[in-house]
Structure 1
């Protein structure tokens, strides 16, 4: 199920003429209406698999719209309910929104106004339904499905390629821009190979010595050795690696590079013989800008991951948030998106400006280190905005004073350094 196919609207009103008028408006917008004249008729359509939204009148005989809202929230709190209110019902409708309603419209409402709210609610529901579908697939899928997220054709092709490569025993070269996730691709290849129970060892190629290489082969005995940014290998280490591979080893070597390795060969910076030996099988990871439909899925995953790591509740991700994300080029690719998601999570659902995309692009950092980096940037930003006033900065970040000062100490930050009123 995708956002383009989620087009159902359940209309609940005890007046037939009103139901029919609303249904006609819905149909003219290429949506699919379902009519119900009461709670009893409506409840049979309401379950977690319902992929549309509900538009209901508040005042109905017997069990009214508020009763219906309570029932929907108990069945699926992510199912959008739009309330139709009379003039005297507006205060109640506003209260109902705090209790789970998606929105409300004052009667009589125009077609344009109705459809604007319905379309927004449908997009929100589509994202929820799609996220649940992906989670079900992940729960029952293989390592490629569980670890390589994305709904685009490019992502499907990538997973298929990884599965095919994993079944072989030859060396693999992974290409792609920085931030596209070559280390994770290498890990998935290992987990789907016949050597999955053996060690998976990662080493950055830059500054790797002959002794380091020998030690890495020893640690990866019978398993997989991943060399990140392999074009950075020193010439002597390139020779040692080629010699080891030609002599025979139980270790499968998977290499990654974000630069054009063919150019390095042509420039004499990388061994031609080693290139051909490492490039027996190739996996190319597409840039995020080439598969924008993957952005919502990846962002939701990263936000959930960051919130779990920081023990925070997950903030709401609105259609407007997704639209903002998809309007970016993401030069940092998935890593840049992950950094923005961590900032968004730590700031409670805000912080998606250009600075959020640029924060924390240091190479080789794990999730905890990157989250620490983002946290430090947030503390600095708060101190700068508050001109070094600790109380104001702590309040802006919604942190208790003690917690705020503990974090400042952890990151080596001193509020006085950000005061502008010092003489």
Structure 2
């Protein structure tokens, strides 16, 4: 069982701090009747000894107490862990003080007298926020403790694990490689990994985007030219293929290469030599060719069949993000963590609606699109996919029943992913029966994991 599946409902605890014994007893009873574990404290002093950074819980404290009051306790707690929810109980005259405390980081405040279900509602929301924070920390630890290739190609899905294994096996060879995958899946990341983990790591990695080079300078950029080879060629220019000697040439979007240059590239790959424009002298090439495409080259009439077979010594296929949805929460946190470092902003709490939206989205832009969403999320500029801010759920499009099914499916998938594939904590967390979860999974086409735990 991994770290993210270790947070269970029975681990949740509410630490109740109040010097009024009768009120403590009454609040404890009401919360325990709702199924929560409650630990009571007559004063604030011993709360500071709790393992606050790892605590799966919420602190509920009265403001006015002898010794350390609720505000001082809150400041102490938030100084150790600013994400731990602290709920303050206030008297009528303390409301303004509580509002100021919320600005200083308190999670919420409840004014006396209050109904028991009001406290339970606030505590439940606080516990959900805390669970997400602790899971994010577990994911961060897992990522930081992994090998370097796993931090480049993040994921636990079998397809991405297989891809990492292929890279590890192929990197040490000199075989030419064709990388296939949709836009934004990370083809250059794979190409760089092949270079960095192979014997050519000390040589140059030269990336050429075949779709970005104007046709009139394409040949000169690849093969170089002698001085005077054409109008404007005032001095010798070393081409990109020659510049990569001892290293790796990455030909991205190779399907965009002009057809007349494909024959010349084929000769360069087969002979491992080139001629600069305006020269008859062969220049030896000691390079590895890695090409990438988002289309089917074998059925592309604008691409030479012989060049396709020459490049296609080894093919590495990168799965689309929608084909490994179970990796989306892990990958989203990874790129959000990178955004946090770039923008020096804390990662906001991820709500269940956010998770459901991430899992339900089709990701046509794949990891590149996910990275952009994570940037906006960290900057506080992302409000979900097609979300109605007033309703707080995914609205989508189509018939109402289809929208409801899509949202319900996304929520269940998010909960299953959160629990590491375990179904028991999933139906407990969703507040439904085991039979109810299985019926919904069957109706919505959700397949149970082969290695589910605690089901």
Match of 1:62 among 67, 74, 84: 67
How high is the TM-score relative to the length of structure 2?
0.64
Partner Cα separation in structure 2 for residue 105 and residue 330 of structure 1: 41
Please tell me whether residue 185 in structure 1 is matched to residue 190 in structure 2.
yes
CA contact (8 A) 1:84 1:104 kept: yes
Partner Cα separation in structure 1 for residue 125 and residue 305 of structure 2: 55
How do 1:296-311 residues align onto structure 2 when only pairs under 5 Å count? 296-299=329-332, 302=335, 305=338, 309=342
3-state SS of the aligned residue for 1:253?
A: strand
Match of 1:247 among 271, 286, 291: 271
Please tell me whether residue 10 in structure 1 is matched to residue 14 in structure 2.
yes
Q: 1:298 to 1:138 in 2, by over 3 A?
A: closer
| Pairs aligned (count) | 347
Q: 1:331 to 1:212 in 2, by over 3 A?
A: same
By relative contact order (CA 8 Å, sep 6+), the higher-ranking structure is 2
Partner Cα separation in structure 2 for residue 32 and residue 254 of structure 1: 58
3-state SS of the aligned residue for 2:290?
A: strand
CA contact (8 A) 1:23 1:35 kept: no
Aligned equivalent of 1:259: 295
Match of 1:48 among 50, 53, 59: 53
RMSD of Structure 2 on Structure 1 (CA): 3.6
CA contact (8 A) 2:132 2:349 kept: no
Match of 1:230 among 249, 254, 265: 254
How do 1:22-421 residues align onto structure 2 when only pairs under 5 Å count? 24-25=32-33, 28=35, 34=39, 36-106=41-111, 113-150=118-155, 154-206=159-211, 207=213, 209-214=218-223, 215-248=239-272, 250-264=286-300, 268-299=301-332, 302=335, 305=338, 309=342, 313-314=345-346, 316-319=348-351, 321-343=354-376, 348-352=379-383
Partner Cα separation in structure 2 for residue 151 and residue 107 of structure 1: 48
Partner Cα separation in structure 2 for residue 169 and residue 239 of structure 1: 22
Partner Cα separation in structure 1 for residue 7 and residue 166 of structure 2: 28
Q: 1:129 to 1:235 in 2, by over 3 A?
A: same
Q: Is there any run of 5+ residues in structure 2 with no aligned partner, and where?
A: 224-238, 273-284, 388-455
Shift of 1:61: 4.4
Shift of 1:203: 0.6
Please tell me whether residue 21 in structure 1 is matched to residue 29 in structure 2.
yes
3-state SS of the aligned residue for 1:62?
A: coil
CA contact (8 A) 2:337 2:347 kept: no
Q: 1:279 to 1:90 in 2, by over 3 A?
A: farther
**Structure label with greater radius of gyration:** 2
How high is the TM-score relative to the length of structure 1?
0.68
Q: 1:49 to 1:229 in 2, by over 3 A?
A: same
Partner Cα separation in structure 2 for residue 25 and residue 151 of structure 1: 39
Partner Cα separation in structure 1 for residue 37 and residue 318 of structure 2: 39
3-state SS of the aligned residue for 2:316?
A: strand
Aligned equivalent of 1:383: none
CA contact (8 A) 1:12 1:38 kept: no
Shift of 1:177: 1.4
Q: 1:83 to 1:192 in 2, by over 3 A?
A: farther
Shift of 1:308: 5.6
3-state SS of the aligned residue for 2:75?
A: helix
Q: Is there any run of 5+ residues in structure 1 with no aligned partner, and where?
A: 357-423
Aligned equivalent of 1:379: none
